[in-house]
Structure 1
Amino acid sequence: MDLKQLRAFIAIADLRSFSAAAAHTGLSQPSLSRLLKQLETDMGVDLVDRYHRPLHLTEAGAFFYDKIGTILTEIDTVTSMTQRLSAPSAVLNIGFVPSVLYGLLPEIIARLKQSSPDIEVTLKDISSYQQMDALKSGDIDIGFGRFAHQVPWIQQILLRHERYVVALPKAHPLANTNNQRLIDLANNRLILYHQTHLPISTAVTKSKSTSTKQTVPSESITEPLLHLFAQYGISPFTTTTVSDLQVALGLVAAGEGITLVPASLKTVRTEQISYQNLAHENVTSPIYLHTLKDFVHPKIPDLLTAIYHVYERRGITYRQQKFM
């Protein structure tokens, strides 16, 4: 059994066609068929039922496909990491979620370039969840996200907690009321925009619109904004789910509801939106920095230095950390 045989099998299993798999791998059909046959002979098991069109996997083949695909992905990841460790790129590829871009990220990058004039930086807008795969593949070297992740390949540090503020239409009765409580906002339509949910195993299915209030344990809710309300035993009267943060703020500006956003977004659409502080000090959105466990890009310490320099200049409380 070797990698060529395994990759041939995966291609056939993915595409359910020898001709399509041959085109995908760049091998001839006879070569592909021979590799599969060698694999089956080595294992003493038929993996593909060749008498159906499209091709079907045997029961053993389906089991093998499910398990071996994960192993090949791990091999590809290790290979990529080894190559990057041997010859690190001069470019620092940084992934970020959009809400971070409205905060201190531009200032941090400016400070990084000022202190390290030779550094080349690329920025990529990518969700917290997608950053995990992007780190493994090498598309990014480090990522700014809003969620904790339990991924064996990844290490992360908590940079700080950012307070949430409530975004309301300018005409809203509470538009000029500061230090608001979540209970006073519960009768409004809450606009949800997070594409990544909290890593809680037990989830409660929430509809886009609910007409009755219920007290739901916060431990059972994975949508971040609903989780914040549930921590206080509150369920909003009605909710609407949209694709991203900008759409959510667009609906607020149009008077279609309210939402909670990190305080760094208080400068967005200020002509139509009023941003007010919340009375709850623990209603916050964390900012995490994550990278690979076994390969830390040589420019990442410079990035951390720039982050902490900006925090000190801004008077932001933080606990200095570093990647291992």
Structure 2
Amino acid sequence: MDLKQLNAFIAVAELRSFSAAATKTGLSQPSLSRLLKQLETEMGVMLVDRYHRPLHLTEAGTFFYDKISTILTEVDTVVGMTQRLSAPSSALNIGFVPSILYGLLPEIIARLKQSNPEIEVNLKDISSYQQMEALKSGDIDVGFGRFAHQDPWIQQILLRHERYVVALPKAHPLANVREQRLIDLANNRLILYHQTHLPISTVPTRLGTLSSASAHKLPKQKNKHDGSSPESATTDQITEPLLYLFAQYGITPFMTTTVSDLQVALGLVAAGEGITLVPASLKTVRTEQISYQRLIHENVTSPIYLHTLKDFVHPSIPELLRATYHVYEQRGITYRRQKFESQR
């Protein structure tokens, strides 16, 4: 059994056609068929039912595909990482979520280039979830995101917590209230925009871990307290980030609308279609139509994480971290200095 045989099988399994699989793999159709037959002979198992059109996998073939495709993906990842380790690119490819770009990322990159004039930096707009695969494939070397991820290939450090602010239409009755409470916002339409949700395993509750079946439930009743202390037991592991913030205080928004991204959400707020919560770095966007006000709840924050591979840290990442901490110190931002494991 070798990689050529396995890749031939994967192509046939995914495309359900010998001719299409031959085109994808760059092999002639007889060569592809021979490799697949050799694999079946070595295993003593028929993997493909050739008497149906399109081709079907046998029960054994389906099982084998599910398991071997994951293994081959890991092999590809290891090969790519090995190649990058032996000849690291001089360029530093940085992934970021859009909200980070409105914050301190431009200053951090300017500081990095100032202290390392020879460095080449490429910035890529990519969601927190997609950053995980982009790191493995080598599309990016490091990523700034808003969510914790559990992935055996990835390591991450928490850079800091950024306070949320409430974004309201300028004509809203609460638009000039300088300190807002979540309970006072509950009767508004809340606009949701996150593409990535909180991983169930990282959502805390005061009652301990609940079953995944309840992961998207909303609390059934509002808690009309003054918002001074969380009521985390009502969260039922809600994974939508903004709903989770409300649920921490036992609050269910009156109505929600989900849109594709943050800019669309702010556009709807500007049009008077609802309110939303955004990291404080966004409060310079659409200020003609939107009023941004502080929330009194100190724990209503959005974390900022830095992700990279566990086994390969690009040579320029330590400089990126130093630039990040330099900007934080200049801005008086509280943080805890950290390093990635393979830097130590």
Q: Do they superpose with TM above 0.5?
A: yes
Q: Does 1:262 align with 2:279?
A: yes
Distance 2:254 2:215 in 1: 16
Question: Shift of the alpha carbon at 1:204?
Answer: 4.1
Map residues 8-19 of structure 1 onto 2, 5 A cutoff: 8-19=8-19
SS at match of 2:337: coil
Aligned match of 1:272: 289
Contact 1:170–1:273 (8 Å) recurs in 2? yes
Q: Does 1:20 align with 2:20?
A: yes
Aligned match of 1:199: 199
Structure 2: which amino acid aligns with 1:97?
A: V
Distance 2:39 2:222 in 1: 57
Question: Shift of the alpha carbon at 1:206?
Answer: 6.2
Distance 2:51 2:182 in 1: 62
User: How high is the TM-score relative to the length of structure 1?
Assistant: 0.97
Contact 1:166–1:260 (8 Å) recurs in 2? yes
Q: Does 1:154 align with 2:154?
A: yes
Aligned match of 2:131: 131
Contact 1:112–1:303 (8 Å) recurs in 2? yes
Contact 2:189–2:275 (8 Å) recurs in 1? yes
Aligned partner (choices 241, 261, 265) of residue 224 of structure 1: 241
Aligned partner (choices 238, 252, 273) of residue 255 of structure 2: 238
Contact 2:216–2:237 (8 Å) recurs in 1? no
Aligned match of 1:47: 47
Aligned match of 2:207: none
Contact 1:200–1:219 (8 Å) recurs in 2? no
Map residues 101-140 of structure 1 onto 2, 5 A cutoff: 101-140=101-140
1:79-126, Cα deviation, whole Å (9 max, x unpaired): 000000000000000000000000000000000000000000000000
Aligned partner (choices 271, 291, 302) of residue 319 of structure 2: 302
Distance 2:272 2:285 in 1: 15
State percent identity of aligned pairs.
84
Structure 1: which amino acid aligns with 2:239?
A: T
Distance 1:316 1:171 in 2: 33
Aligned match of 1:190: 190
Distance 1:214 1:139 in 2: 45
1:270-292, Cα deviation, whole Å (9 max, x unpaired): 00000000000000000000000
1:35-86, Cα deviation, whole Å (9 max, x unpaired): 0000000100000000000000000000000000000000000000000000
Distance 2:23 2:117 in 1: 46
The 3 A distance-change label for structure 1 pair 223 and 40 is same
Aligned match of 2:308: 291
Q: Does 1:164 align with 2:164?
A: yes
Distance 2:311 2:58 in 1: 38
Map residues 35-74 of structure 1 onto 2, 5 A cutoff: 35-74=35-74
Distance 1:205 1:315 in 2: 38
Question: Shift of the alpha carbon at 1:3?
Answer: 0.3
Distance 1:76 1:251 in 2: 43
Contact 1:97–1:125 (8 Å) recurs in 2? yes
Aligned match of 2:227: none
Question: Shift of the alpha carbon at 1:219?
Answer: 3.9
Structure 1: which amino acid aligns with 2:300?
A: V
Contact 1:157–1:290 (8 Å) recurs in 2? yes
Question: Shift of the alpha carbon at 1:196?
Answer: 0.3
Distance 1:316 1:112 in 2: 18
Question: Shift of the alpha carbon at 1:218?
Answer: 1.4
Contact 2:200–2:215 (8 Å) recurs in 1? no
Distance 1:176 1:204 in 2: 36
Residues matched between the structures, number: 321
SS at match of 1:220: coil
1:252-304, Cα deviation, whole Å (9 max, x unpaired): 00000000000000000000000000000000000000000000000000000
Contact 2:197–2:241 (8 Å) recurs in 1? yes
